[in-house]
Structure 1
């Protein structure tokens, strides 16, 4: 018997929803690109938060990026500057 998997609620959905709303309204700054990449990593393959996943896709398309170009840009950004300086930069917050 196949069991239907129910969508899960991500524990950071509420705060992430606010970030995604901001990304939808803004332009691709270094910080916004980093946030987009971070959230795409967080929600990739997550069984739920379909609204966030769809909106992250919209931002990627709006900014005319692919996952590959986004990741290349953010690797370069992080190599050259500390994007999250003063924002808890010592904390790993990818999951």
Structure 2
């Protein structure tokens, strides 16, 4: 059986698809870098949403980054704080 035959649908695919589409045309702002890193973590190893996983890689390439440098930059951004101001601070959105 092929991998695509076993693929699962991620429950947040629809909202994440919108975010990924904006990353593909947007600039590498602090917010967009953090969104890219957040979604890379969410879909890492997920058996499905191949379109999103592929497009996250495209965004990395477009911004001339690899995963290690993305995570390094976003750790620095998060240390400064305030990147997700206005969002529900009690809600984790990693999975």
Provide TM-score, normalisation by structure 1.
0.93
Instruction: Report runs of 4+ in structure 1 exceeding 4 Å deviation.
Output: none
Which residue number in structure 2 is paired with residue 72 of structure 1? 72
Q: Distance in 1 between matches of 2:24 and 2:2?
A: 32
Aligned to 2:27: 27
Deviation at 1:88, TM superposition (A): 1.7
Q: Partner of 1:94 in structure 2?
A: 94
5+ residue gaps, structure 1, are none
CA–CA distance in 2 between the matches of 1:90 and 1:31?
Answer: 19
TM-score, scaled to structure 2: 0.93
Over residues 60-85 of structure 1, what are the superposed CA-to-partner deviations in whole Å (9 max), with x where a residue is unaligned? Answer: 00000011100000000000121101
Query: In structure 1, what is the equivalent of residue 42 of structure 2?
Result: 42
Question: What is the SS of the residue equivalent to 2:85?
Answer: coil
Using the TM superposition, give the Cα deviation of residue 34 of structure 1 relative to its aligned residue in structure 2, in angstroms.
0.3
Structure 2 residues not aligned, in runs of 5+: none
